[in-house]
């Protein structure tokens, strides 16, 4: 049975991990015979968003790990506890947390930096020849993790695709129901809610992403 490290970036589409994507990732892993352990950075998230209004909440701070524990039902560990030797693959659901708490793409665009602990872990997976699945907006980190020429997708959003190319990646267009595989880099990506209009649409691509990741492990 393959064992997969799943990195979450908080809880909630606007400031953390996209909840549907995270749950669908865990469901797909179970359905396809893999086990998993969730991790998240033990740090303050970039900001807190009121998900009813979409507006930032002044004066409030939340911890990424504590928030992500909501999704994982408490079964989660600090990112610094993750060891590549213990796992066969790495999967990262999307949501703005991936672009705010795992990196700063949401504010820096193509000049982004990736959070140091996450970058070190993800690069260790890549250097160990273990597959990585990046979902939704998370593929903007592809070149930073897997090197120049990394082939990935966020669907067909032109501005984000251009930023991926500017950072040294190669963007591939992809429908919501599919994933794209860079066999050389052992990198699998899917658009999920970059394109999805429903939970079932997101599930189709995420399930395909998980299938391809497990096939490479």
Q: What is the pLDDT along the chain (217 residues), one digit of tens a residue?
A: 999 999 999 999 999 999 999 999 999 999 999 999 999 999 999 898 999 998 989 888 999 999 999 999 999 999 999 999 999 999 999 999 999 999 999 999 999 999 999 999 999 999 999 999 999 999 999 999 999 999 999 999 999 999 999 999 999 999 999 999 999 999 999 999 999 999 999 999 999 999 999 999 9
At 54 the pLDDT is: 86
CATH of the domain at 131: 3.40.50.880
pLDDT at 186 (0 to 100): 98
pLDDT at residue 129 in the model: 98
**Boundaries of domain holding 194:** 3-216
Spell out the SS3 assignment of the chain: CCEEEEECCCCCCCCCCCHHHHHHHHHHHHHCCCEEEEEECCCECCCCECCCCCCECCCCCCEHHHHHHHHCCCCEEEHHHCCHHHCCEEEECCCHHHHHCCECHHHHHHHCCECHHHHHHHHHHHHCCCCEEEECCHHHHHHHHHCCCCEEEEECCHHHHHHHHHCCCEEEECCCCCCEEECCCCEEEECHHHCCCCHHHHHHHHHHHHHHHHHHC
CA distance 164 to 172: 10
pLDDT at 83: 98
Q: Note the pLDDT of residue 59.
A: 87
Residues designated catalytic: 136
For residue 91, the cross-strand partners are 6, 133
Based on the structure, what is the number of domains in the chain? 1
The crossing angle, in degrees rounded to 10, of helices 19-31 and 199-216 is 50
């Amino acid at each position: 049975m393959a064992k997969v490290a799943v990195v979450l970036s908080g809880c909630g589409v606007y400031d953390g991990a996209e909840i549907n994507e995270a749950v669908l990732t865990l469901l797909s892993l179970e359905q396809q015979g893999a086990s998993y352990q969730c991790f998240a950075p033990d740090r303050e998230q970039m900001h807190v968003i009121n998900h009813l209004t979409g507006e930032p909440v002044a004066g409030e701070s939340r911890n990424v790990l504590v928030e992500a524990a909501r999704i994982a039902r408490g079964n989660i560990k600090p990112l610094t506890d993750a060891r590549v030797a213990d796992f066969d693959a790495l999967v990262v659901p999307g949501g703005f947390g991936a672009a705010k708490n795992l990196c700063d793409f949401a504010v820096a665009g193509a000049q982004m930096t990736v959070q140091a602990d996450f970058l070190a872990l993800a690069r260790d997976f890549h250097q160990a020849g273990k597959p990585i699945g990046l979902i939704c907006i998370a593929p903007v980190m592809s070149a930073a993790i897997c090197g120049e020429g990394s082939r990935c997708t966020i669907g067909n959003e032109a501005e984000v695709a251009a930023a991926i190319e500017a950072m040294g990646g190669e963007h591939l267009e992809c429908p919501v129901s599919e994933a794209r595989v860079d066999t050389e880099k052992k990198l699998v990506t899917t658009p999920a809610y970059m394109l999805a209009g429903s939970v079932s649409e997101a599930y189709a691509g995420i399930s395909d992403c998980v299938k391809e990741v497990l096939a490479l492990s």
